[in-house]
Structure 1
């Protein structure tokens, strides 16, 4: 297929991948102290449930994004009874090896260094060593509410643009302040509320408009890529559609704010804005979340993530690490075969895959796959 040819061409054009060489964990989740080495190609991480396969992927994600993929705070990541954790990784990129170190201690500021140079702001690290993660609960992006889809879109854009992340942080800070003002007014009305709202709105509008433009631009590229990946994963049997939905398609944000101010004061919160944006996913003209099977929903999710991977390659000239956590569950053998035919391509760079069943992996990998690196975890963990 055309998409497979293009993936290979991107790989040639952009040179070596960005890949994780090794990671060491101290008091991180169920690892007291452990170290693992990876190959630049396909890495298969196998072992029973509870052995730490997902935690190993999360350590790599943390080194890339300065936070866990699964937890909003650091506290659940600290091994029980300990006061902090340390992650250290060697990451190959731009023909050089980089040393990444993160130290988290209770009650102190997180430390994050690359080649012994600390970051003044953690946001400056986002996107430097990109990753794309796929986990079982990600299907909530298909079946859940709009917040899950915005979160994913924000994560993608934050890896592509530091300016987007700055606009996003500023937007949500003003949103929080504006909502606090509206709640106070409901409890204790004041004649100054309109002047204060005018001030907030004047600061708010440029950030909303910038975010809207970024999302429009990325969705224009995301939609055709996702469609092509899904065609491959479904064996060209199903038709999908994606639609970016935003109130700002209808009229400018400033006009929305003027029209909705009375309602905002009545309900005590901001009723319009890009925090209401959504992505709609359709399969053969019907919502996937309602009419799609488990396999179709998972294929849709995989197509979105693969499109995310390719967009990072195109815009940053870096091939991100692709991490797939227990993604073969609820996929029929045909879809598994089609999926592995994609990730075996050289254009995907380094891939980390976890599974409880090594026989399922070997059944779909060609006998000549000598470049595959196997990592076997046992339970209870040795050294944990």
Structure 2
């Protein structure tokens, strides 16, 4: 798959911009702050319905406007697909596929697939667990779009359950609330089990690719791994309390392996865990058990990457995670899916010469690679290709090799 045409209206700094693209490598060159990342952000948003830079949609709209439009023409083999995404202020976003009637924005998930590398990726290693959960869930939805509904259902139930738990802190919790909480426990257990089951399968698929990618980027002296730690441990003390909240998708240190459990079995585990932790949850007014509190621990050698990895090792781990996602998508492409578009947004400026060359050599064979850089000399020779100059408010005429 490759992106042939991108058009933005009132997106970030652009009132209107049109970018024509080709398969292979395209490098967008321009000064910092001129709008290169805005173009890449729009492509990434089309793929995931989220930005790698901000957590809400409001900053995506050009200041003073009520909506932004992203239009894209994607080519896969002999077929082309036109996507249009309308990002609205204060109401639901809408989309069109091949100029059909409007559909929900999430109905376009899975059509445009990307893997985006950016300086913000350092948070995958150095940041809090929510960054790593988001990484997993965005990849999960790209591979299996129906899991967008799984995430949405879980988030909705979690919000309702937390609202009910908060009423316990204010002394307004009654017997009727207790019965209602039992009902929400069932709903959350099922939604949580489906999300957890999908994440565990994904981590298992990522694991070999992560280790391989890290070895490609380094001298291979340390193994890279990922361990999924769940609040659903399946271990309870004599009083029925949930014990230390950790569980491994990759067995380690005697932790229970949750992978063999079915969705039904995980659902039952969650019901038991909710019952055991109810008193503590009512005291704190929040849900303490569930996928929203899980962790993907990244391991380098024998130690956690967070807090132990050097700056260079941290960057290599971040890049390896993205490459692992790319390889998982390629696995799917071989069975009827689409190879993703690779986006490297201002990454090479952050890397030393050795890592630049290794990363460039790995990605250069992708169907489409989009790169941004403030200084053209930062781009390794392995990524020779078309250059496009980004200027204030638009693009200069591209120079074709």
Residue 97 of structure 1 is matched in structure 2 by 80
| Residues 66 and 125 in structure 1, CA contact (< 8 A), matched pair in contact too | no
Once the 2 structures are TM-superposed, how far is the Cα of residue 71 of structure 1 from its aligned partner?
2.7
Query: What do residues 208-243 of structure 1 show as CA deviations (whole Å, max 9, x unaligned)?
Result: 111111111111110110000000101323322221
| Residues 157 and 188 in structure 2, CA contact (< 8 A), matched pair in contact too | yes
Residue 375 of structure 1 is matched in structure 2 by 388
Find the aligned partners of 2:136 and 2:320 in 1 and give their Cα distance: 14
| Residues 44 and 50 in structure 2, CA contact (< 8 A), matched pair in contact too | yes
Find the aligned partners of 2:387 and 2:111 in 1 and give their Cα distance: 27
| Residue aligned with 1:237, SS | coil
Does the alignment pair 1:83 with 2:83? no
Find the aligned partners of 2:176 and 2:218 in 1 and give their Cα distance: 58
Does the alignment pair 1:322 with 2:342? yes
Find the aligned partners of 1:20 and 1:382 in 2 and give their Cα distance: 17
Give the TM-score of the pair, scaled to structure 1: 0.88
Find the aligned partners of 2:222 and 2:373 in 1 and give their Cα distance: 27
Unaligned segments of structure 2, at least 5 residues: 236-268, 397-401
Cα 1:56–1:284 change in 2 (3 A) is same
State which of 145, 167, 175 in structure 1 corresponds to 2:128.
145
> 1:10-89 alignment to 2 at 5 Å?
18-89=1-72
Find the aligned partners of 1:379 and 1:163 in 2 and give their Cα distance: 39
Once the 2 structures are TM-superposed, how far is the Cα of residue 284 of structure 1 from its aligned partner?
2.2
Residue 223 of structure 2 is matched in structure 1 by 239
> What root-mean-square deviation, in Å, do the aligned CA atoms of Structure 1 and Structure 2 show?
1.9
Find the aligned partners of 1:164 and 1:249 in 2 and give their Cα distance: 23
| Residues 294 and 330 in structure 1, CA contact (< 8 A), matched pair in contact too | no
| Residues 240 and 285 in structure 1, CA contact (< 8 A), matched pair in contact too | no
Q: Which has the higher contact order (CA 8 A, sep 6+)?
A: 1
Give the TM-score of the pair, scaled to structure 2: 0.85
Residue 360 of structure 1 is matched in structure 2 by 378
Cα 1:198–1:108 change in 2 (3 A) is closer
Runs of 4+ with >4 A deviation? 380-383
State which of 178, 203, 207 in structure 2 corresponds to 1:223.
207
| Residues 295 and 330 in structure 1, CA contact (< 8 A), matched pair in contact too | no
Find the aligned partners of 1:94 and 1:72 in 2 and give their Cα distance: 34
